[in-house]
Amino acid sequence: MVPFSPRAYARLLAIATAGPLAATGCTGLAAGPEASAQTPVPVSRDSAWVRARRALTTEAFTVDVVDSTGGRLIGTRYASANAKLGTQPACRMTLALGIRGDAQQSELSSTSRWVASEKMADKAPEVCERERTQVLERIASTVAPPPAQ
């Protein structure tokens, strides 16, 4: 198994984020703070991997790095083309997921950040952070669904 390093994922996230920002010349964009979290998952590493990949696809992420052996997924969710400024669909999000574990249980680590137009500077911290949090909650519930009641 490849050693797990959240810092390595953070560096890859920075690289994945730098590409889209560099392509736009870094003009007119503002980024929120980087946030990291770890979530225990009561399924095997392989199952967690499949569920995480499915969750990114469901959330419309463009997956930039797929490393099933190392347990890494890095993606970007771009703002909707017809989104109004100041709304959640106008927020871009970068995400690096790391999955480690064994045949019994695993752990999902995430490092994420929102990116928005500078024209949304007054609303982005609240609106985009809410969107980032909701997306991560949906991904977590796909990877580790709550127990049936």
Q: What is the mean pLDDT of residues 91-117?
A: 95
Take residue 34 and report the two structure tokens written for it: 């980087």
The percentage of the chain sitting over the pLDDT mark of 90, rounded to a whole number, equals 64
Distance, in Å, from the CA atom of 62 to the CA atom of 93, rounded to the nearest integer, reads 10
Does the structure show a pLDDT above 50 at 3? Answer: no
Instruction: Map tokens 């137009």 to a residue.
Output: 117
Does the structure show a pLDDT above 50 at 108? Answer: yes
Distance, in Å, from the CA atom of 18 to the CA atom of 12, rounded to the nearest integer, reads 10
Domain range summary for the chain, segments of one domain joined by +: 6-143
Nearest CA-CA partner of 65 in 76, 78, 54, 77:
76
At 36-92, the pLDDT tens digits run: 999 999 999 999 999 999 999 999 999 999 999 999 999 999 998 899 988 999 999
- Could you tell me the fold of the domain covering 6-143? Alpha-D-Glucose-1,6-Bisphosphate; Chain A, domain 4 (3.30.530)
What per-residue confidence (pLDDT) applies to 6?
Answer: 53
Take residue 132 and report the two structure tokens written for it: 């980032």
**98 in Cβ contact with 15 (< 8 Å):** no
Nearest CA-CA partner of 108 in 14, 13, 4:
4
Q: In sequence order, which residues have a C-beta less than 8 Å from that of residue 103 and are 6 or more positions away?
A: 44, 45
What per-residue confidence (pLDDT) applies to 20?
Answer: 46
What per-residue confidence (pLDDT) applies to 26?
Answer: 56
Q: What number of CA atoms fall less than 13 Å from residue 117's CA on the CB side?
A: 14
Mean per-residue pLDDT of the chain: 85
